[in-house]
Amino acid sequence: MAYSGLSLLSHALTGNKRWPAILSTPDMRSSYDIVIIGAGGHGLATAHYLAANHGITNIAVIESGWIGGGNTARNTTIVRSDYLLNSSFGLKNFALKLWSDLTQDLNFNLMYEPRGYVDLAHSDGELEHFTLRANAMRLRGGDADILTGQALQERVPELDFSGDKRFEISGALVQESGGVVRHDAVAWGFARKASTAGVHIFQNCPATGFETEGGKITAVQTPQGRIACKQAFISVAGASSAVAGMAGINLPLNSINVQAFVTEPVKPALDAVVNYNAGLSYISQTDKGEFVLGGATDGYSSFARRGSFERIEDVLARAVQMFPFLTRLRLMRHWSGTADIPMDGNAIVGRTPIEGLMINAGWGYAGFKATPAVGWCMAELLATGKTPDLIAPFALERFETGAEQDDGGIGPYPWLH
Amino acid sequence: MLLIPCPHCGLRDEGEFTYGGPARTLPALDQDTQVWRDAFFAGQKPPGPMTELWYHTSGCESWIEVTRDTATHDILNSNTPQSKVDTP
Amino acid sequence: MTRLPQGGLIDRTQTLHFTFDGEQMSGHPGDTVASALLANGRHLVARSIKYHRPRGIVSAGLEEPSALLTVTDATGSTPNLKAPEITLRDGLQITSQNNWPALDRDAGALLALGGKTISAGFYYKTFKWPRDAWHKTYSKIIRRAAGHGQVDPSTNPALYDKRHRKCDVLVIGSGPTGLSAAITAAQAGATVVLVEQDSDLGGSLLQSADTIDEMPAREWAKDAADALRTLSNVIVMPRTLAFGQYDHGLVQAVETPQSGSASTSILWKIRAQRVILAAGAIERPVVFPSNDRPGIMLANAVRTYIRRFAVAPGRRAVVAVADETERRDTMAALQEAGIDVVAALQPGDKITKTTGRLHVSGISWRGANGKRHSARCDLICMSAGWMPTAHLFAQKGVRLSFASETQSLRPPQSDGPMRPTGGARGVLTTADCLADGKTTAHQVLAELEMHKHLNLNQPEATPAPAQGFQTGPGKAFVDLQNDVTRSDVALAQREGYCDIELTKRYTTLGMGTDQGKTSWTNGVLEIADITGANPETIGHTTYRPPYSPVSIGALIGAEVGNEMVPTRRTPFHDGFERLGCVFQTSGDWLYSRYFPTAGETMMQAIKRECLATRNSLGCVDMSTLGKIDVQGPDALEFLSRLYCNAFAKIQPGRLRYALMLREDGYVFDDGTIARLAENHYLVTATTANSGSVWRHMQKMAQVDWPELDVTLTSVSDHWASLAIAGPNARKLLTALAPDFDHSSEAFPFASVREGLLGGDLPVRVFSVSFSGELSFEINTPAGYADALLTRVMDLGAEWDITPYGLETLDVLRIEKGHLSIGTEIDGRRTPADLNLGGMVARKKSFVGGALLNRPALQQTDREQLVGLQPEDGETSIPYAAHLSQSELDSKGQAPLCGHLTAAIESPILGHSIALGFLENGQERMGETLWAHSPIAGKSVRVRVTSACAYDPKGERLHD
């Protein structure tokens, strides 16, 4: 049943009593071609593209909780591709292109709003560095501009340039195709489409172990039974160490708490997504009217999903520098999630030492924006056995060779990324 | 906000400290690449007690070893660091 | 007026004036805006978010889902305040939200005609075509329709602060439980902090008809509160909302001296050994068709408005209260206020509809025997039961469990620092709450060894009424604030959004500013009802702080504007100010940027400063460099392990350029190592890394190599450092009259000397150069900075000494191809990438050596540092350009092989030069490439050169 204005009307006439469920509720088979562990955005996108691009639907997606209940549910919904390194830019810019068509592809309104991503620089030196990034993006086919002074003020009229500021605003990198996507809808849209295509999705079904034979994956164990498979794909965000550990794989990453928070909803007062760089603070306003904010990680290993309030005070202080009116609003809710941050701060995507077992982990706090691109590329890898160029730099083996993809140049200290 | 027991200064607020990551044994300098990689690219310990290093920046400027439960943030122990050298 | 002629806790001797949507109204001290509005006969105060249905005041507390208002006072306006949380003040302007053109004729109500087409999640199913229509059209409409109030964009003059408090026992809530607990703890000598969100202490006692110790409950509460205030070991904090529980017993609270205004609030951080959570309970609404009309209120709220505020919220009341005791109490209160009780529904009755346009006018129901009833009324008092306010407890991730006997989510027994007590664990009667407060207090006192353990019996939770109300079909609201109906919850189950978290996210149930305080338990029960599941298996969504919204102004306190973070100034700051310096924020520092003469632009000043330094003499502040003193018998061994280059042969009095790697083999920092004496070294770190290099060295010394006998001291702030540079630098040094032999033979490049200048100014002088000129970095104890600067400027006048700042520093180092942190040393470079491969020692082991051997770091075609010059010798190279062998294609793109790290106009060379990283750059000298900067709109042909563009042999370092 396609979603449309017309279907809304016709269902309204029958009291909305005939809407089908977005997920089918199949019985679990004893074997599938592919078992995807983790029904977050990345895992579900992979299932969708396996079906849509490669015609493979003999897939089980198993999820320990509810669909989209991990970091898909706990991010600040920002999408952008403003990276200097070709690898980071490439994958995220491909995602940005996919985002713009996904609502139609999935027949589910993901509410992609390219409101513009505005990254503020606080000195001429920093602006020069942002220009280097903007030039790289443009030369590689992305969109980016550098705005200063009046032009920046006109682009973000709500931004406060006046007053006694600790860090001046020298200018900004602006990516107009950046913006926000309704995070929950991403999981639901991919799940619905994949389920319709015949993919089996099982909630409340964690992976509890792997079976291998001759270095090759043969089955995934779950409390609901053993699932034989030709390939398995781990895409479980903050649980990556634990799940990969069941297969004896040690991922070079640390799990760190990242927070986000919202104000009470008010009428529209900010259009763009804006990032403050002298101490990180990013902010946008949701369609519902809340301001949603985030900042750097809490900076130490944690699985508590409960944040340090000092970080919130810190991020808010910076947000108020940009938008002083925020002092008049009230903080409504704050939450946190577990971000897996590898030793170079960049994701681990691709093969593992176990044949047929693939991994997608370590997205830190940058995973949401890459969702469809990871799904697309992982589907290609699982379907064809060939690693797409876009994910090749993110292979686990790079820590052996030293080909790290360290956007920040920070080094093997995940808590600093 | 954590309250971290500094063995030199007593209970102090998290804001006074700088995190130093999981306590790990620094290999001897003449050890080979594989040993260093294993030491530095070691993965995350599962949720539960973990020994880690904190530096008391706004205090005694000492590195301390803190055992903290990463699932609850409860602090189980804190100490001055032990020698981590494999071979001199 | 519906104010009762007598009673209540209001001060009738004073009248406060306020307006609601422009209409003049009045009230008294002791009123909230909610009670004052009701006293002025105002029920309709809001429009709902989605259907724009008329809404009134439902509750008398922070749980209020409907009555969201904008409050304007002298400091400006604050949106979304809940009517019951705002203490009435004179001159307040209250305005309703989310309606047009007026509250009583809101055009938005037409949306209700959309009816079932705009059920839960409808926006996920439509607004999809054409491709950009969501962003360009629909989202703009939806966004304008969403949100509640408007934010005031004017400058906020309010002052905020953050403060700390510490105590043995923190009691949250001052109802019977909290008062009883606080008194018990205080009597045992514990230090007690009692926080109460309301302006008055007493909680439920303020509207209770009970007696305690043969006194009316309200008087008992007043006596108890007064007694607590007199005790020196008790701090009573009214108007203070404890909103969150954080790690290690931290409770954060916000005090609002002008209660209910977001302005002028104080954030309190309270550390207690034990926390008694006596936050009471919230009444559960009844879900029935059109249960949202103004005039339909929680029964406890009605009792509160009557007894505490002396307001009659209606004339003809229908009572729909499930619990018999509470029903009787409600009817008693209504009678006290002279309100007719036209009907009292019995549990099991089925409510089928209510009527009324802007206010409830009637209700219909069917008795258990099937008989139809209806009544005309202007007030419906409803209650399905009570829900413990255990939010703060649950915030730490502890699951609450649904208890069938109380029909609510209850906290488990806890031996942690926070103890839910009284209403917060489902104990409801006044007598039981008093007993529970005392019991818990004794328990924690025994744990703190402040009292011997008494075996007191903990009261049982109060059971819920055996039977509730039935309800007929129709638009029955579960979440009033977000307009979520029972059929929305049903739709979510039907469409597969079955997990409670999915139900929440799909329907927005519980996601409003009230965070579902009145709606969550009903949501769970609705799901159970629809799916047939046991409510105990449904669980709940995550409880997150804050309990109720808190002012962002209070959360940031005084950390605004220039005071957001501290500013560091170097010891030369004042002296430079006198020299007309323009400063620049650089990280923590306020650093000298350039020194313009009258009428000069920055570019002109830089050019002048550069030429003066190259041709005669300049001086620059180097104080921000990290300076670390290393002493001890193992100092050399320590440094040798830490830095990758060899310097074992360095003699006392000499220094070396040195490179430090991270453990993973990439370059971390550069600096100098000066050997002051046999076992005494002074090393420098770059400004950006001074903190991290210091911590790194401390870690190695304290944690990794404790066997080395070495003492580290950070002396960064002890020394002011001024570099004099230029061909006349040694002449100035002579003029400064050092007491050591400073001839070029005795004091050559890369040396250090200690002594006095002019017989009295203590200095350490390092002959090092970042500019490429003959140069001396003169360090003096920070207190002597002004003296040094004055002598340097006075004596340097002979050679027209020119102070310069960061800008010129940068130009001079780029001309020399010297490295800068963040541009060349960007955390992704090996020594070889920086043309420093030759420095890496072969004969020793050092940190980073092992992982530097990884194949990707040893590849010979990596990006390497090169210089670049315009092919035509004159075109300006745009900064931040990228290198390519190709011209831009038709899309403005090109395959890239490197990028610039710096590009300047060199005053001494008279043309543009640049530094950059180029793949396999060392093998490509002389090659011509494109430097593309689409942002600048420029593509320039450049020739690859060595990184050092000026004085490549370094002859100028020597004289």
Domain of B27, CATH number, reads 3.30.2270.10
Of A296, A320, A341, the domain-final residue: A341
- pLDDT confidence band for C260 (50 / 70 / 90): low
Dihedral over Cα of A31, A37, A40, A43: its sign: negative
pLDDT in tens, C549-583: 999 999 999 988 899 999 999 999 999 999 999 99
- B3: tokens are 């309250």
Query: What is the per-residue DSSP string for A64-117?
Result: SSSTT-SGGGSS--EE----SSHHHHHHHHHHHHHHHHHHHHHTS----B---E
Among the partner residues B20, B37, B83, nearest to C699 by beta-carbon distance: B20
Q: Are residues A235 and A157 in the same domain?
A: no
Dihedral over Cα of C775, C779, C780, C785: its sign: positive
Residue A88 lies in a domain: no
Q: Are residues A244 and A269 in the same domain?
A: no
In this structure, are residues C42 and C81 in contact, taking their beta carbons and an 8 Å threshold?
no
In terms of Cα–Cα distance, which of A120, A37, A117 is closest to A76? A117
What ipTM, to 2 d.p.? 0.97
CB contact under 8 A, A308 and B1: yes
- pLDDT confidence band for C852 (50 / 70 / 90): very high
- C826: tokens are 């960007």
Ranges for all domains in chain C classified under CATH 2.40.30.110 = 859-959
Q: How high is the pLDDT of residue B83?
A: 46
Give, for C691, the enclosing helix (H) or strand (E): helix C690-699
- Min Cα distance A227 → chain C (Å) is 24
Residues of chain A with pLDDT under 70: none
Q: Are residues A331 and A370 in the same domain?
A: no
3-state secondary structure of B68: strand
Count Cβ neighbours within 10 Å for each residue of C769-794 and write b for 16 or more, e otherwise.
Answer: bbbbbbbbbbbbbbebbebbbebbbe
A202: containing domain: 27-77+183-252+344-416
Residue B60 lies in a domain: yes
Q: Are residues A159 and A295 in the same domain?
A: yes
How many CA atoms lie less than 13 Å away from A198 in the CB half-sphere? 12
Of A286, A306, A341, the domain-final residue: A341
Q: How high is the pLDDT of residue C554?
A: 93
Helix axes A86-106 and A124-139, enclosed angle (nearest 10): 60
CA dist C157 and A206 (Å) reads 53
Q: Which residues of B lie closer than 8 Å to C, measured between beta carbons?
A: 1-3, 18, 20, 23, 26-33, 35-37, 40, 53, 55, 57, 61-63, 73, 75, 81, 83-85, 88
In a mutagenesis test of the C interface, which of B4, B24, B29 is the best target, namely the one with the most C β-carbons within 10 Å?
Answer: B29
Q: Are residues A259 and A329 in the same domain?
A: yes
Count CB atoms within 10 A of the CB of residue C573: 19
- C374: tokens are 């209806």
Q: Is C513 on the interface with A (CB under 8 A)?
A: yes
* CATH fold of C859-959: Elongation Factor Tu (Ef-tu); domain 3 (2.40.30)
CA dist C921 and C924 (Å) reads 5
Residue A381 lies in a domain: yes
Please report, as a single letter, which amino acid is at residue A87: S
Of A341, A361, A383, the domain-final residue: A341
Q: Which residues of B lie closer than 8 Å to A, measured between beta carbons?
A: 1-2, 14-15, 19, 21-22, 37, 40-47, 50, 52, 70-73
Residue A89 lies in a domain: no
* CATH fold of C626-714: Alpha-Beta Plaits (3.30.70)
Residue B41 lies in a domain: yes
- Non-local (6+) Cβ contacts of A154 within 8 A are none
- Contact residues on chain A for B2, CB-CB shorter than 8 A: 308
CB contact under 8 A, A308 and B70: no
- Contact residues on chain C for B79, CB-CB shorter than 8 A: none
- Residue A116's closest chain C neighbor by CA? C135
CB contact under 8 A, C664 and B40: yes
In this structure, are residues C681 and C631 in contact, taking their beta carbons and an 8 Å threshold?
yes
In terms of Cα–Cα distance, which of A219, A264, A240 is closest to A362? A240
Q: How high is the pLDDT of residue C456?
A: 87
Of C451 and A260, the structure prediction assigns the larger pLDDT to A260
Burial of B35 (0-12, 13-18, 19+ CB in 10 A): middle
In this structure, are residues C383 and C323 in contact, taking their beta carbons and an 8 Å threshold?
yes
B67: containing domain: 3-79
Q: Are residues A126 and A170 in the same domain?
A: yes
pLDDT in tens, C809-849: 999 999 999 999 999 999 999 999 999 999 999 999 999 99
CA dist A28 and A363 (Å) reads 30
Q: What residues are paired with C245 via a beta bridge? A: C251
- Contact residues on chain B for C695, CB-CB shorter than 8 A: 18, 20, 55, 57
Residue B87 lies in a domain: no
Decide if pLDDT at C317 tops 50: yes
CA dist A58 and A228 (Å) reads 12
CA dist C461 and C458 (Å) reads 9
CB contact under 8 A, C247 and B1: yes
Would strands A209-213 and A216-222 be described as parallel, antiparallel, or unpaired? antiparallel
In this structure, are residues A218 and A228 in contact, taking their beta carbons and an 8 Å threshold?
yes
- Contact residues on chain C for B36, CB-CB shorter than 8 A: 663, 850-851
- Residue B71's closest chain C neighbor by CA? C397
Angle at A241 between CA A236 and CA A243, to 5 degrees: 60
Q: How high is the pLDDT of residue C193?
A: 98
Would strands C281-284 and C385-388 be described as parallel, antiparallel, or unpaired? antiparallel
Residue B86 lies in a domain: no
Q: Distances from the Cα of C710 to the Cαs of A220, C640, C697, C703, in angstroms?
A: 54, 12, 11, 13
Dihedral over Cα of C205, C209, C212, C213: its sign: positive
CB contact under 8 A, B19 and A400: no
- Contact residues on chain B for C707, CB-CB shorter than 8 A: 83, 85, 88
* CATH fold of C16-102+288-383: Ubiquitin-like (UB roll) (3.10.20)
Chains with at least 3 CB pairs less than 8 angstroms from chain A: B, C
CA dist C322 and C345 (Å) reads 8
Q: How high is the pLDDT of residue A48?
A: 98
Q: Are residues A173 and A260 in the same domain?
A: yes
Q: Would you state the CATH architecture of domain C471-531?
A: Orthogonal Bundle (1.10)
Burial of C746 (0-12, 13-18, 19+ CB in 10 A): exposed
Please report, as a single letter, which amino acid is at residue C452: K
Residue labelled with tokens 């950070």? C714
pLDDT in tens, C698-757: 999 999 999 999 999 999 999 999 999 999 999 999 999 999 999 999 999 999 999 999
In a mutagenesis test of the A interface, which of B2, B3, B44, B51 is the best target, namely the one with the most A β-carbons within 10 Å?
Answer: B44
Q: Which CATH class is domain C568-624+718-813?
A: alpha beta
- Non-local (6+) Cβ contacts of C578 within 8 A are none
Output the CATH code of domain C161-282+389-447.
Answer: 3.50.50.60
Phi-psi region of A11 (alpha: psi -120 to 50; beta: other; left: phi over 0): alpha
CA dist C456 and C440 (Å) reads 9
CA dist C569 and C810 (Å) reads 20
CB contact under 8 A, A266 and C262: no
- CATH code, domain carrying A310: 3.30.9.10
Residues 664-683 of chain C whose Cβ lies under 8 A from any Cβ of chain A:
664-666, 668
Widest distance between CA atoms in chain C = 116
Dihedral over Cα of C904, C910, C915, C920: its sign: positive
- CATH code, domain carrying A67: 3.50.50.60
Q: What residues are paired with A338 via a beta bridge? A: A257
In this structure, are residues C10 and C31 in contact, taking their beta carbons and an 8 Å threshold?
yes
In this structure, are residues A92 and A364 in contact, taking their beta carbons and an 8 Å threshold?
no
pLDDT in tens, B68-85: 999 999 999 999 986 443
Residue labelled with tokens 């039981």? C432
In a mutagenesis test of the B interface, which of A301, A341, A413 is the best target, namely the one with the most B β-carbons within 10 Å?
Answer: A301
CB contact under 8 A, B27 and C246: no
In this structure, are residues C614 and C773 in contact, taking their beta carbons and an 8 Å threshold?
yes
Q: How high is the pLDDT of residue C263?
A: 64
CA dist C427 and C520 (Å) reads 19
- Contact residues on chain A for C567, CB-CB shorter than 8 A: 166
Give, for C858, the enclosing helix (H) or strand (E): helix C855-858
Q: Distances from the Cα of A22 to the Cαs of A19, A108, A130, in angstroms?
A: 9, 11, 43
CB contact under 8 A, A331 and C549: yes
Supply the DSSP symbol for C656: E
Q: How many CB pairs under 8 A join A and B?
A: 60
CA dist C74 and C94 (Å) reads 13
pLDDT in tens, C380-414: 999 999 999 999 999 998 999 999 999 999 999 99
Q: How high is the pLDDT of residue B24?
A: 86
In a mutagenesis test of the A interface, which of C100, C564, C888 is the best target, namely the one with the most A β-carbons within 10 Å?
Answer: C564
Query: How many structural domains compose chain A?
Result: 2
- Min Cα distance A211 → chain C (Å) is 30
Among the partner residues A241, A309, A400, nearest to B43 by beta-carbon distance: A241
Q: How many CB pairs under 8 A join B and C?
A: 73
Q: Is C611 on the interface with B (CB under 8 A)?
A: no
In this structure, are residues C16 and C29 in contact, taking their beta carbons and an 8 Å threshold?
yes
Quote the distance between the C-alpha of residue C814 and its chain's center: 39
- Min Cα distance A392 → chain B (Å) is 20
Residue labelled with tokens 């439509």? C126
- Residue B39's closest chain A neighbor by CA? A252
Query: How many structural domains compose chain B?
Result: 1
Count CB atoms within 10 A of the CB of residue B67: 15
